[in-house]
A and B are shown apart, each in its own frame.
Chain A
Amino acid sequence: MQRYRCRTWSVATNKPPILPYRGVARSGVCYAIETILDAVALAAGLEPYEVRLRNLVRADEMPYDNITRKHFDSGDYPEAVRRAVRSIDLPAVRARQSRGEADGRRVGFGLAVFCEQGAHGTSVYHGWGIPMVPGREPAVVRLTPDGVLEIRCGVHSHGQGMETTLAQIASEVLGLDPARVRVLLGDTANTPYSTGTWGSRSIVMAGGAVGQACKELRARLLTMGAALLQEDAGALRWEQDALVGGRSRVTIADMAHAWYRQPQRLPSDADARGLEVSTSYQARRDSGTFSYACHAVVVAVDPQLGAVEILDYVIVEDGGVLINPMVVDGQIVGGAAQGIGTALFEAMPYSTDGQPLASTLADYLLPGATEIPVMRIEHMETPSPYTEFGQKGIGESGAIGSTAAVASAVNDALRPLGVVVDCLPITPRVIEVTVAARNAPVPA
């Protein structure tokens, strides 16, 4: 893309249709971009995925500085699209569309491609002129006398599974059983100050900080272990949580016990900093990680009633090196459910005199288990060159693409009827009224 211009309007209102939650603003921007690309595909007589394939940054161009000066760190964006289209079996969907449905419904296919900047730091936020600028992310790790590792971070886990993933990182570095790792989060009485959990940053920033703190702790343990084993540190090797020398071995728990309870076993010049490490982390570049995904959806739309059923849902996602694929899947599914809610259900209407009309969950419809399809998730794992383990932030991705993909699929289904739905949420009423208006005889 050689030229780019963007105009934005800010509106101050106490009646926002959507509040800052996962993927704030990104789902709306993705919806706008993908809607335009679908229109381009239609005008060009191309499959919508073809338009994406022709215009996406290629793997051999990575890392890539785009026209808005975003620095894409790594990945193969077109491959995500190809895999999603293959997995959803687009030719079969098109064949089904041309056959038609016995029940009169219309089948539609839609997709959305996006990338998610995460864990972007000081230079990015300072450049945007945002008052709160994140810097290095702190972490404290310490061994307790009974050989438990405590991790203290200022980020907070409200469902992101960081109790699991941060413990995993420590376990990876130190060889400790994750059951012997305790994670303390987001409590300024006990944990370092942090800007907290936001911007898909925690696994990169807090995860990086925990990784580096554990590496520092491991270096101190090596010196201590060499003293305890009375061997040269260079002759020792780690086996799980034990240092093994030529004659004997010492575990991390032994070393913690020696430090706190039997200091007479240690030389008088032992490392005065002890078994508590406080450090802070910055990625090698602070322009952020760029995870990305392609969402591909098949829906069936009942034009007479406006009901939408999601028949198939494929997500091909690249979150770099996955610390815990199950946790990542949970994030993606939860985010996609949120985006489906934005696409089909959630609305905050007001009466003309400003009375909120959806003030309870009886009126504010959320998708439930029966409305959320089983999503088929495929992972690509292109490491980020800039992060501690190659991981990328994925906390918001599910929510970014799902609204656009579902809307695209609904409009694909309605296209033969000559109508386009261009507002959210796409409720049954919106679809039915739009179709009925098209079918109504023109008044004489």
Chain B
Amino acid sequence: VKAVGFAYAQASTSAQACALLQASGGMGKVLGGGQSLGPMMNLRLAQPELLVDVLGIAALHACCALDDAVTLGAATTHAAIEDGRVADPTGGFMPHVAAGIAYRAIRNRGTLGGSLAHADPAADWVNLMPLLNAQMLVHGPAGERRVAATDWLSGAFTTALQDDEILTAVRIPRLSPTARWSYYKVHRKTGEFADALAAFVDDPQGGARRALIGATDGKPHVFAAEPLLDGWDSDFAARQLLAAGLKPDTHEYRIHAVALARAAARLAPRRAAAR
């Protein structure tokens, strides 16, 4: 299958990319690694009139390690995160998640920013970023703005990004050295998107004891997880599954419940080892 005709432009600055998008009147799409957009265009599920290639914007490749956070340019590939070629503020959490995204060939091309902007609710980064309390750095006609990762996704394939804005970087707070994490992804086969996701971050030193229920139809659900970390409060777990938008007595509810329990089970020995 081949894409319908489209125009292609390379931007060399964020401002230029935004101007191109603005001029397209909402018919432009940003092209990062193209690992989702490319197939969608070939299947004609997406038919943008203009592709704005942002991989030539130097600022999108910049990664910067600060004392309290790391900023990763939107064009950082999953493979660069997996391989540790960029700073990791999460004690191995992000490289672990990166290594589980699709296939290596896709990770070589696919980008952090592209995945976040594409916003498939079953993808990894849109779920992980709110758990890590990250911030999205957005460039638009009015200049720079920051969006909390918890406010990023408003629904499937829908983000806080406006048509004439681009995501330039993600700022991820550092976890303490004693922080522990776990991640459990349910999927049909290697390379497939998740059917259910659950994850924990336990960082008492940094004041973050959170859990995630993700890969639902809607927003990722991030919540304070003490009742599941110091023992297992099953009523609390059930309330969180409901809050994530899952309906009781459904397959989706049950596999998310299993993912949550198994993520907790993975975390327990790591916390014990950290003491």
The residues of A with any CB-CB pair to B shorter than 8 Å are: 304-305, 307, 345, 360, 362, 365, 367-368, 370-371, 427-429, 432-433, 436, 440
B255 near A305 with CB under 8 A, answer yes
B188 near A368 with CB under 8 A, answer no
> Inside 8 A of B2's CB, which chain A residues have their CB?
none
> Inside 8 A of A362's CB, which chain B residues have their CB?
39, 43
**A-B contact list, 25 entries, CB within 8 Å:** A304-B255, A304-B258, A305-B186, A305-B255, A305-B258, A345-B189, A360-B45, A362-B43, A365-B189, A365-B192, A367-B189, A368-B189, A368-B190, A370-B189, A370-B190, A371-B189, A371-B190, A427-B188, A428-B188, A428-B195, A428-B255, A432-B254, A432-B255, A436-B254, A440-B249
A429 near B43 with CB under 8 A, answer no
- Fill in one digit per residue for B35-68: 1 if any A CB lies within 8 Å of its CB, else 0: 0000100010100000000000000000000000
B190 near A345 with CB under 8 A, answer no
Q: How far is the CB of B35 from chain A (nearest CB, A)?
A: 12
Q: How far is the CB of B213 from chain A (nearest CB, A)?
A: 15
> Inside 8 A of B188's CB, which chain A residues have their CB?
345, 365, 427-428
B191 near A433 with CB under 8 A, answer no
Interface of A is mostly: loop
> Inside 8 A of A305's CB, which chain B residues have their CB?
186, 255, 258
Interface of B is mostly: loop
> Inside 8 A of A432's CB, which chain B residues have their CB?
251, 254-255
> Inside 8 A of B251's CB, which chain A residues have their CB?
429, 432-433, 436
A427 to B255, CA, bound (A): 13
> Inside 8 A of B189's CB, which chain A residues have their CB?
345, 365, 367-368, 370-371
Which A-chain residue is minimally distant from B192 (CB atoms)? A365
> Inside 8 A of A367's CB, which chain B residues have their CB?
189
> Inside 8 A of A440's CB, which chain B residues have their CB?
249
Q: How far is the CB of A187 from chain B (nearest CB, A)?
A: 28
Q: How far is the CB of A101 from chain B (nearest CB, A)?
A: 15
A360 near B258 with CB under 8 A, answer no
The 10 A-B pairs with the shortest beta carbon distances in the complex, nearest first, are A370-B190, A304-B258, A360-B43, A371-B189, A429-B251, A433-B251, A305-B255, A432-B251, A305-B258, A305-B186
Which A-chain residue is minimally distant from B193 (CB atoms)? A362
- 13 A-B pairs besides A304-B258, A345-B189 with CB distance below 8 A are A305-B186, A307-B186, A362-B39, A368-B189, A368-B191, A370-B191, A371-B189, A371-B190, A428-B188, A432-B254, A432-B255, A436-B251, A436-B254
CB within 8 Å of A: which of B160-200? 186, 188-192, 195
A422 to B252, CA, bound (A): 22
Q: How far is the CB of B220 from chain A (nearest CB, A)?
A: 20
A432 to B258, CA, bound (A): 11
Q: How far is the CB of B69 from chain A (nearest CB, A)?
A: 35
> Inside 8 A of B45's CB, which chain A residues have their CB?
360
A360 to B1, CA, bound (A): 10
Q: How far is the CB of B188 from chain A (nearest CB, A)?
A: 6
Q: How far is the CB of A29 from chain B (nearest CB, A)?
A: 27
A282 to B64, CA, bound (A): 75
> Inside 8 A of A345's CB, which chain B residues have their CB?
188-189
A440 to B191, CA, bound (A): 33
A427 to B254, CA, bound (A): 15
A433 to B258, CA, bound (A): 13
Which A-chain residue is minimally distant from B252 (CB atoms)? A429
Q: How far is the CB of A433 from chain B (nearest CB, A)?
A: 5
Which B-chain residue is minimally distant from A430 (CB atoms)? B251
> Inside 8 A of B186's CB, which chain A residues have their CB?
305, 307
> Inside 8 A of A429's CB, which chain B residues have their CB?
251
